[in-house]
Amino acid sequence: MLLVASVFAVTGLAIGVSSSRAITGVLLALFGALIGVTMIGAHILADALTPMGIRPFKPLRNDTYTLEITKAANPITNYALLVVGGVLAGVAFITGSALAV
């Protein structure tokens, strides 16, 4: 998660530095890090819904955390999560468009 957030933050910083204001780079770096953490966090949460679960402390401990709600191969759950993700992306887009005005 930290690796993806760092890559997104550096990308945001690089894009922002090319603008005329330094604060733009910092804000884009923070936004990139937030997007990276959100993407990976959502994926980890989705994995925790399956019986296989997640092992967040794998090198140190072998504890498995799972909610055992659905199997990963369940097409109904996969489509439902796809719809939820699409709706959230649409809400984010509309909110961002409204705030930009």
Mean pLDDT, the chain, rounded, equals 90
Q: Which amino acid is at 90?
A: G
Q: Kindly report, residue by residue over 49-67, the tens digit of the pLDDT.
A: 999 999 999 999 999 999 9
Asked whether 16 and 31 are in contact (CB, 8 A), the reply is no
Q: What percentage of the chain reaches a pLDDT higher than 70? A: 98
List, for residues 5-16, the tens digit of each pLDDT value: 999 999 988 888
User: What residue ranges do the domains of the chain occupy?
Assistant: 2-69, 72-101
* Maximum distance among all Cα pairs of the chain, rounded to whole angstroms: 50
If one counts every other C-beta atom within 10 angstroms of the C-beta of residue 61, the result is: 9
- Check residues 24 and 20 and name the one with the higher pLDDT: 24
Residue 101 predicted with pLDDT over 70 = no
CA distance 45 to 35: 15
**C-alpha–C-alpha distance, residues 55 and 99, integer Å:** 39
Q: Which residues contact 30 (CB under 8 A, 6 or more apart)?
A: 9, 12
pLDDT at 4: 93
Give 18's DSSP letter. Answer: T
Q: How many CB atoms lie within 10 A of CB 28?
A: 20
Task: Give the pLDDT score at 92.
Answer: 87
Q: Average pLDDT of 32-38?
A: 92
